[in-house]
Chain A
Amino acid sequence: MPNEKSDLLQGTLDMLILKIVELGPVHGYGIAQRIEQISNDVLQVQQGSLYPALHRLEKRGWLKAEWGESDNGRTAKFYSLSAKGRKQLADEVSNWNRLAGAVAEILRTRSAEAQL
């Protein structure tokens, strides 16, 4: 089962997807490109692994999916944020900030001890 994989990474990917989709309807390829651009290749994910995440989020009702026309006229599946997803994103961002803050705090303490 997919859940048995690293929860942290997966949760992070979910949050990234929600964040990107927040800006407006976008297809899977678009999301992959945005992740690549924004993270400057720090996040090395196989682009295909995006799709299980997308479908899972859609199934949970956080994303809405619609078939629409892409820029070169081909049909593509566009994802957009639902109201439920918007709330979820807010929760995850605040969680992430708290976690990141806590981790940063711990790291700072460690370096202070090392100086002693």
Chain B
Amino acid sequence: MKRPKPDFESQLDYELKFHIDKLTEEKIAAGIPPDEARRQAVLKFGGVEQFKEELRDVRGSRFLETLLSNLRGAVRVACKRPSLSLTIIATLALGIGANTAVFSAIDAILLRPMPFPNGDQLMQITQYSSKGKGGAIPAAPARVEDWNRMNSTFQAITGYYTQDVAETSGILPEKITQAWVAPRFFEVWGVAPALGRSFLQEEERGGGGSLAVISDHLWRRRFGASPDAVGRILRNGAESFRIVGVMPASFLFPNRDVEFWTPVPLNAPVMRTRNANWYTIFGRLKPGVTLAQARSDIAVVQSQLGKQYPQTDADLHTRVESLKKVTVGDSGRSLWILFGAVTMLLLIACTNIAALLLARTTERQREIAIRSSLGASRGSILAQLLTEIFVLALAGAAAALAVAAGTSHLFQTMARNLPRVDEIAPNARLVLYTVACAAVTTLLCGLFPAIRATRHTLNESLAHGGRTQVAGRNPLQWALSGLQVALAVILLAGAGLLLRSFDSLAHVSPGFESAHVLTLRISASWAESVDFNRTRQRINRDIEALGSIPGVEGAATSGTLPGLPSGTTSELAIVDAPVEPGRKIMAASHNVSPGYFAAMRIPLLAGRDCPEQPMGAALVNRNFADAYMAGRLPMGNHLQFVPASPYLMPGEIRGVVSNAREEGIEQDPVPIVYWCNSAPTPMPVFLVRTRGEPMAMAEAVRRKIHQVEPARSVYEVMPLEQHLSDALAENRLRTELLTFFALTAVSLACIGLYGTLSYVVSIRRREVGLRLAMGAARRQIVLQFLREALRVSLFGCAAGLILAALFTRVLNGMLYGVSSLDALTFGGVAILMLLTAALSAWMPAMRAAQLEPMQVLREE
């Protein structure tokens, strides 16, 4: 038995052919000659192709075929009008590209889990004291072990601290960042070394000597990626570490600078002190445990410890937060604002395209009418029109992907210190996202024009020639133009505010002179802090050496970089004054060496600078003196920390200096106490005031330090201004990007206005021609069209400003020295928008007035 092939078309052919064959046989049996019989049979059966079409409709098998034929048609149409197609593709490439670029950052930074197995289980635990201002305090190793042992919600809890040391096994000391880690460190991350092994349990407890796991980066740089690296020795002065493993390249924790991890020996006596401030703490939750459960669990554990060790633990509280949230911080807001901006940009691009397509529908009216008279349903024409746009949108999306891939580096260069910025890279999710964008834009730009195009009935369109069509007011086109103007105004207002804010930041006087200051650090280990005096002598020796370099005007140290938040607000007491109940003395603490104020050019207002033997001395800034010591002479009073600490000695106030924005350029000066201490830690920041260009001194500085400290390395040699500018990177990124988006939006809106007015002029040629022929002045024609365009722009502007007043609220807290409703900015935006709108309307309006009336009228 011969059967047809299993596909639908063959079976259909077979079934229909069988019927016609049978009919033919029947006619032949009735005595009709075969040829004639066949003809009559076919006639009786009816149009085979027509039934096949109907059958395909019934079966729904037409879908793919229709899609393919629509796609073919769409490509043909796109190629037939290359300039329009290219305009649409380019507009979408920009619109979707900018959108995808920002989305790639949002995806990498905010949406994707941290790049560790089950990254959502990773938590940071911080401890803070209920006294003072609640800043996080690094935890003691003993307490980390207690938490790990007593909790019931974490798989494991661990901690680390880092230091920049000099690796001295090479010719020159090389600065590398070392992370000292608590037991279970690699277990918590869930990442195993790519080569070798991590630490064994007994090694983490202090057996087996000093070991190290090194980073992929160090492995490649120092050992040429050789497998022999395992077993080699790293040296830091007298200390040495045997390499047991190499981490994979993706492991960049706690940050991308860390080059090797070493276990803290757990059995050392210091590990039992409960008031050591060492570790940053992380833990991995057990599966299925919620953040709230973990929080209350750790809180219970800590309160038990508080009862057990009332002296050290009673006052401590804990906070548990997901690692992702801690890492991302509040950079999310900037990113979402940018995303909102690019989404508006994409909307403008869509309205632009919609307006273009609307103008074209008139030209295609006849074609559509003919197709529908040939039996195409409205749905199928709609599908065809939408497919035409979808093809262009897909092409635009492909170009957009290229744009986004190109700009993924942009984030890395523009905002190096944005968290997780290394993870921004093109991937499959982005491809999906752009395709989704293409689909949405297709509907946004295409649906309106397509519905409009298919609404007119057949007779109407066929009866009218293209030219004689009555020129309507085209409210839809104008509404789209107005919408574009409104959206552009919102973006422009946002960008304007950020620009004004950035400008006032640039002109703020920080109270110190940041130009001509070179900053550097010298490698050191925390272990050196055991011998305070020796460390201080070493640092004073370094300061002196730096100061003796020709071309250097002065050198000093500070615990933190001036002008960058130190986050060290603490409570103080003035020993010699009666305590005022209910009034806390809160101030930022900075540790500076003698010569700091001279090097930073912070004027001394009263008293004297730090003495050469500086311990036990302090200076305060004017804000502090005004706020807490009004009406008294500050000099001679003694300050001490609350609660008193054995590590932090009281100090006598020796002088008052003028206010400086030590805690961030965008922050008003806070009360500050400068403790005279050149070596608060073994690794303070060195500040060198140079006569000329600071970086020109870098090599001399390096050489000098190598001479004095042959076993240490110098690193982070850069101008102070660079640090200050890096601190504004996120601010600059959003300002520059938003400005770029806003300018793009304005140009798109202008192109839209230009296009719409050109179109309106073109379909009203006859009217204009007639009026000119009847003696209208050309000036009147120009004014009439200009007025029309300006009226729409004015409406758009007004709507945009109202919306902007609502939207710019999201910028609150990001603005410096300008309100989110700044009248100057809003007014400037309106004027700028209206001027550019007038300019872009000028050309089409002039063209209208230059029509030759006779020629126009003859065209009919």
Interface of chain A residues 61 through 112 with chain B (CB within 8 A): 67, 69-70, 73-77
Nearest CB on B from A9, distance (A): 15
Q: In the complex, what residues of A have CB within 8 A of residue B11's CB?
A: 77
Question: With A2-B54, A52-B55 in contact, is A47–B18 under 8 Å at CB?
Answer: no
Q: A29-B19, A49-B46, A77-B15 are in contact. Are A67 and B51 (CB under 8 A)?
A: no
Shortest A41–chain B CB gap in Å is 12
Q: How far is B17's CA from A75's CA once the two chains are assembled, in angstroms?
A: 11
Residues from chain B with Cβ under 8 Å of A24 in the complex: none
B630 CB, nearest partner CB in chain A, Å: 88
Given the known interface contacts A28-B19, A46-B45, A77-B15, the answer about A51 and B55 at a Cβ–Cβ threshold of 8 Å is yes
* Contact A48 B4, beta carbon cutoff 8 Å: no
The answer to whether residues A48 and B59 also contact, given A74-B18, A77-B15 and a CB cut-off of 8 A, is no
> From residue A78, how far is it (CB to closest CB) to chain B in Å?
11
A116 in the interface, Cβ–Cβ < 8 Å? no
What are the residues of chain A within 8 A of B46 when measuring CB–CB?
46-49
Q: Which residues of A contact B51 (CB under 8 A)?
A: 48-49, 51-52
A18-43 vs B, CB cutoff 8 Å, 1 = contact: the mask equals 00000000011100100000000000
Residues of B within 8 A of A70 (CB): 18
- Minimal beta-carbon separation of B142 from chain A (angstroms): 74
CB distance from A60 to the nearest CB of B (A): 10
- Chain B contacts for A56, CB-based, 8 A: 58
Is the Cβ of B58 less than 8 Å from the Cβ of A75? no
CA distance A27 to B57 in the complex (A): 21
Q: Closest Cβ of chain A: how far from B747's Cβ, in Å?
A: 45
B337 at the interface (CB under 8 A from A): no
- Please tell me if the beta carbons of B15 and A28 are within 8 angstroms of each other in the complex: yes
Contact of B22 among A2, A29, A55, A59 (CB under 8 A): A29
The answer, yes or no, to whether B3 is at the interface (CB within 8 Å) is yes
Q: Is B44 part of the contact surface with A, judged by Cβ < 8 Å? A: yes
* Distance between B58 CB and nearest chain A CB, rounded to angstroms: 5
Which residues of B lie under 8 Å from residue A73 when comparing CB positions? 1
- Tell me the chain B residues, 503-548 only, with Cβ under 8 Å from chain A: none
Is A114 an interface position by the 8 A CB rule? no
Q: Is A1 an interface residue (CB 8 A)?
A: yes
Residue B23 CB within 8 A of the other chain: yes
Given A1-B57, A69-B1, A75-B3, A48–B377 Cβ distance below 8 Å? Answer: no
Q: How far is the CA of A28 from the CA of B16 in the complex (A)?
A: 9
Query: Contact check: which of A46, A49, A51 meets B15 at CB < 8 Å?
Result: A51
B44 in contact with A47 (CB, 8 Å): yes
Assembled-state Cα–Cα distance A76/B48 (Å):
18
B4 — which chain A residues lie within 8 A by C-beta? Answer: 75
User: What is the CB-to-nearest-CB distance from A56 to chain B, in angstroms, rounded to a whole number?
Assistant: 5
Interfacial chain B residues near A55, Cβ < 8 Å: 55, 58-59
Chain B residues lying within 8 Å of A27, measured Cβ to Cβ, are 18-19
**Which residues from B are CB-within-8-Å of A69?**
1
**Size of the chain A interface, CB-CB below 8 angstroms:** 23
Interface string of B42-79 (1 = CB under 8 A from A): 00111110110011011100000000000000000000
- From residue A17, how far is it (CB to closest CB) to chain B in Å? 14
Task: Decide yes or no: A52 and B54 within 8 Å by CB, A28-B15, A29-B23, A77-B11 being known contacts.
Answer: yes
Does A48 lie within 8 Å of B47, measured CB to CB?
Answer: yes
| B58 with A48: CB separation less than 8 A | no
Q: How long is the Cα–Cα vector from A29 to B568 in the complex, in angstroms?
A: 94
A48 in contact with B48 (CB, 8 Å): yes
Name the residue among B16, B19, B54 with the largest chain A CB count within 10 angstroms.
B19
CB distance from A35 to the nearest CB of B (A): 13
B779 at the interface (CB under 8 A from A): no
Question: Which chain B positions have C-beta within 8 A of A29?
Answer: 18-19, 22-23
CB nearest to B49 among chain A residues: A48
Q: Give the CA-CA distance A29 to B46 in the complex, in Å.
A: 14
Contact A47 B45 (CB under 8 A): yes
Give the residue name and chain of the A residue nearest to B44 (CB).
A47
Q: Enumerate chain B residues within 8 angstroms of A75, measured Cβ to Cβ.
A: 1-4, 14, 18
**Cα distance, A57 to B227, chains bound together (Å):** 72
Cβ–Cβ < 8 Å partners of A52 in chain B: 51, 54-55, 57-58
Can you list, as one digit per residue, whether each of B17-30 has a CB less than 8 Å from chain A (1) or not (0)? 01101110000000
In whole Å, how far is B373's beta carbon from the nearest beta carbon of chain A? 16
By a CB distance below 8 angstroms, the chain A residues around B23 are 29, 47
B3–A67 touching, CB < 8 Å = yes
Residues of A within 8 A of B48 (CB): 48
Chain A residue with Cβ nearest B380: A1
Q: Report B638 CB to chain A, min CB distance, Å.
A: 94
- In the bound complex, how far is the Cα of B51 from the Cα of A32, in angstroms? 15
B58 contacts A2, C-beta separation under 8 Å: yes
Cα(A52)–Cα(B52), bound, Å = 8
Which residues from chain A contact B50 at a C-beta distance below 8 Å? 48
Distance of A59 Cα from B57 Cα, bound (Å): 12
For A28, the closest partner residue in chain B by CB is: B19
Chain B 335-359, CB-CB to A under 8 Å as 1, else 0, gives: 0000000000000000000000000
> How far is B48's CA from A56's CA once the two chains are assembled, in angstroms?
17
Query: A46 to B57, alpha carbons, bound, how many Å?
Result: 19
A96 CA / B51 CA spacing, docked (Å): 27
Chain B 371-384 interface mask (CB, 8 Å, partner A; 1/0):
00000010000000
**A48–B53 Cα gap in the complex (Å)?**
12
Write the nearest CB–CB distance from B176 to chain A, whole angstroms: 72
Q: Shortest CB–CB separation between residue A66 and chain B, in angstroms?
A: 11
When chains A and B are docked, how far (Å) is the Cα of A19 from the Cα of B47?
26
The smallest beta-carbon distance between B15 and chain A, in angstroms, is 5
Residues in B neighbouring A47, C-beta threshold 8 A: 19, 23, 44-46
Q: Give every chain B residue within 8 A of A51 (Cβ-Cβ).
A: 15-16, 19, 51, 55
Q: Give the chain B neighbours of A48 by CB distance below 8 A.
A: 16, 19, 45-48, 50-51
Contacts of B58 in A (CB 8 A): 2, 52, 55-56, 59
State A45–B629 Cα separation when bound (angstroms): 108
The docked-state distance in angstroms from the alpha carbon of A74 to that of B4 is 11
Residues in A with CB closer than 8 Å to B59 are 55, 59
Taken together as a complex, chains A and B put the C-alpha atoms of A6 and B15 apart, in Å, by 26
Contact A1:B16 (CB < 8 A) given known A29-B23, A77-B11: no
Q: Which residues of A contact B44 (CB under 8 A)?
A: 46-47
Distance of B426 from chain A, by nearest CB (Å): 44
Expressed in whole angstroms, the Cα–Cα distance for A74 and B47 within the complex equals 24
B21: chain A residues within 8 A (beta carbon)? 74
Contact B55 A32 (CB under 8 A): no
Q: Evaluate contact between A32 and B54: CB separation under 8 angstroms.
A: no
Question: How many angstroms from the CA of A47 to the CA of B45 in the assembled complex?
Answer: 5
Report the nearest B residue to A59, measured CB to CB.
B58
Q: Which A residues are in CB contact (< 8 Å) with B2?
A: 74-75
Give 25 pairs: A residue, B residue, CB < 8 Å, sorted on A. Answer: A27-B19, A28-B18, A29-B19, A47-B46, A48-B16, A48-B45, A48-B46, A48-B47, A48-B50, A49-B46, A51-B15, A51-B55, A52-B51, A52-B54, A52-B55, A52-B58, A55-B55, A55-B59, A56-B58, A67-B3, A75-B2, A75-B4, A76-B18, A77-B15, A77-B18
Beyond contacts A27-B19, A48-B16, A56-B58: 19 other A-B pairs, Cβ-Cβ < 8 A, are A1-B377, A27-B18, A28-B18, A32-B19, A46-B45, A46-B46, A47-B23, A47-B44, A47-B45, A51-B51, A52-B54, A59-B58, A59-B59, A69-B1, A74-B18, A75-B14, A76-B15, A77-B14, A77-B18
Residues of B in contact with A (beta carbons under 8 Å apart): 1-4, 11, 14-16, 18-19, 21-23, 44-48, 50-51, 54-55, 57-59, 377
Which 7 A-B residue pairs are closest in the complex by CB-CB distance? Answer: A46-B46, A48-B46, A52-B54, A29-B22, A48-B51, A48-B45, A29-B19
Interface residues of A (CB under 8 A from B): 1-2, 27-29, 32, 46-49, 51-52, 55-56, 59, 67, 69-70, 73-77
